[in-house]
Structure 1
């Protein structure tokens, strides 16, 4: 099972990224748990400087942007 964390306090970009990730996981039948992280300390532990952050299996994949859908899918599939 894939662990996905969307890091962010709840801004518009954070909400957009979270809904996009959930939609991609559902649409592609990916076995993943999507978690929204709003705790500042936990976000700092990942070393991101801007939100939203996207963490897949404890690896930071992006921060400060909402990646394109095909890029998120690629990361979820191990790419």
Structure 2
């Protein structure tokens, strides 16, 4: 599983990465977590508001920090 966090480095983007990594560690799930800060790459996903979360190429969330419940739902699918 590849999880991409789209954002230019704002506090919400950093918090999104922290929360995702925490859930993965606590649940014992292996995933590649990548932070994408390149605006052009972010726009290629059609994302205009960050933070955004992309899992295996599919945009899951835009414009807010996900909660742990949402993340667990995504990684269990």
TM-score band, normalised by the shorter chain? Answer: over 0.9
Q: Secondary structure at the match of 2:9?
A: coil
Measured in 2, the distance between the counterparts of 1:73 and 1:41 equals: 29
* Structure 2 residue ranges without an equivalent (≥5): none
Which residue pairs with 1:50 in the alignment? Answer: 49
CA contact (8 A) 2:19 2:67 kept: no
* Contiguous gaps of at least 5 residues in structure 1: none
Cα distance in 2 between the residues matched to 1:62 and 1:52 = 8
Q: What TM-score comes out, normalization by structure 2 length?
A: 0.96
Question: Aligned ranges for residues 1-79 of structure 1 at < 5 Å?
Answer: 2-78=1-77
Residue 49 of structure 1: how far off its partner (Å): 1.4
